[in-house]
């Protein structure tokens, strides 16, 4: 599977953390700079972004610029996506959106290629596809082989989220606060509600007064239920921001429908698409090991000895800018660009794998349901 079908590929939000990562991944996949249209806000007009051994000029984000392309990766905010993505899709552009704008819109597929590729296997393929939240992508990629084999009735997950999930300015804030704290002159927080240096705190998204869940936790619940087509699935997330620049971590505990042994789970993880199972106890998944890499790192498989083989815990780390965002979006685009006679099935980490049957290329009607 390749991106050869797309002669002009727009990156909307190219100057942000996810947009820059998307450019790196496209270069790794051999996409020529002449095929890339880098778009951002007007204040970045004329800036140049590195690409391979040259640079790409950034242009303002406009409907006409996007609609001049065959495909578009939206790496901007939800407002930009709501304003421009539906029109681009109606104009025939294949759109993959990284924002939250369309994730719960029933007319827009929400896709992790290793988990629900069948949502793209249709006689009338979608022109607009939503990329899930990074924490959802990491969680479901890690547990999918276990869920398919044994079933899952409950998920308890605590996330330890790197500051880069809040953008490039958040990395600058962590570095500046760390230097200042070491010099004995702490800086006040600007991006986050609390200092991120030498500290951790609940995710900064708004808290729902009725449930006590913050918006990040609510996204994990709603998106996982939708992707797994299991509206009654019990999911208890706790999302925490930690002083790490890049790569999210998760502590996951599953209640299984059928009993499993630790060795059975390890065997599944060794063969799982999108996963790298780290077995040695002295080499566990860590953010440093995950940063800049494609696979979701999984380790520390433990079966609760008092659960009859039905309670399983894992430790997971993954680069949220790659598999949690840009890489997952590129994999979706590769699936949408699959030539007739082929269709997507589960993928290896960073790769695409082809089977059958075809997309038709028809453009279905789209309904723009605005979401915060």
- Residues catalogued as catalytic: 134, 248
The three-state (H, E, C) secondary structure of the chain, written as one string: CCCCCCCCEEEECCCCHHHHHHHHHHHHCCCCHHHEEEEECHHHCCCEEEECCEEEEEEECCHHHHHCCCEEEECCCHHHHHHHHHHHHHCCCEEEECCCCCCCCCCCCECCCCCCHHHHCCCCCCCEEECCCHHHHHHHHHHHHHHHHHCEEEEEEEEEECHHHHCHHHHHHHHHHHHHHHCCCCCCCCCCCCCCCCCCEECCCCECCCCCCEHHHHHHHHHHHHHCCCCCCEEEEEEEECCCCCCEEEEEEEEECCCCCHHHHHHHHHHCCCEEECCCCCCCCCHHHHCCCCCEEEEEEEECCCCCCCEEEEEEEECCCHHHHHHHHHHHHHHHCCCCCCCECCCCCCCCCECCCCCCCCCCCCCCCCCC
Please state whether beta strands 234-241 and 152-161 pair in parallel, antiparallel, or not at all (unpaired): parallel
CA–CA dist 177, 167 (Å, integer): 16
Q: What is the CA radius of gyration of the chain?
A: 20
CA–CA dist 301, 322 (Å, integer): 24
Asked if 249 and 298 count as a contact pair (C-beta separation under 8 A), the reply is no
Asked if 363 and 349 count as a contact pair (C-beta separation under 8 A), the reply is no
CA–CA dist 233, 339 (Å, integer): 36
């Amino acid at each position: 599977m390749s991106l050869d079908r797309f002669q002009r590929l727009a990156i909307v939000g190219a100057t942000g953390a996810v947009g820059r990562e998307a450019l790196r991944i496209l270069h790794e996949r051999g996409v020529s700079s002449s095929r890339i249209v880098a778009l951002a806000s007007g204040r970045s007009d004329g800036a140049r972004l590195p690409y391979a051994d040259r640079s790409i000029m950034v242009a303002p984000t406009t409907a006409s610029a996007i609609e001049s392309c065959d495909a578009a990766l939206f790496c901007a905010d939800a407002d930009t996506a709501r304003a421009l993505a539906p029109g681009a899709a109606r104009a025939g552009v294949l759109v993959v959106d990284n924002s939250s704008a369309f994730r719960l819109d029933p007319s827009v597929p929400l896709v992790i290629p290793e988990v629900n590729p069948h949502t793209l296997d249709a006689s009338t393929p979608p022109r607009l596809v939503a990329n899930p939240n990074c924490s959802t992508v990491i969680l479901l990629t890690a547990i999918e082989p276990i869920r398919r084999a044994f079933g899952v009735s409950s998920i308890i997950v605590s996330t330890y989220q790197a500051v880069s999930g809040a953008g490039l300015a958040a990395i600058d804030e962590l570095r500046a606060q760390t230097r200042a704290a070491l010099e004995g002159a702490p800086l006040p927080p600007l991006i986050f509600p609390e200092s991120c240096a030498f500290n951790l705190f609940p995710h900064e998204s708004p808290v729902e007064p009725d449930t006590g869940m913050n918006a990040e936790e609510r996204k994990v619940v709603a998106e996982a239920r939708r992707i797994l087509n299991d509206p009654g699935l019990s999911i208890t997330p706790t999302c925490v921001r930690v002083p790490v620049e890049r790569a999210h971590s998760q502590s996951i505990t599953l209640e299984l429908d059928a009993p499993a042994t630790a060795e059975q789970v390890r065997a599944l993880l060794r063969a799982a698409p999108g996963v790298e199972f780290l077995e040695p106890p002295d080499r566990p998944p860590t953010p440093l090991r995950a940063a800049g890499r494609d696979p979701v790192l999984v380790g520390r498989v433990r079966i609760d000895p008092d659960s009859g083989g039905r309670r399983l815990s894992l430790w997971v780390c993954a680069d949220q800018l790659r598999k949690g965002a840009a890489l997952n979006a590129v994999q979706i685009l590769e699936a949408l660009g699959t030539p007739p006679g082929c269709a997507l099935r589960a993928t290896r980490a960073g790769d695409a794998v082809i089977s059958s049957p075809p997309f038709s290329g028809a453009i279905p009607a789209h309904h723009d349901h605005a979401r915060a």
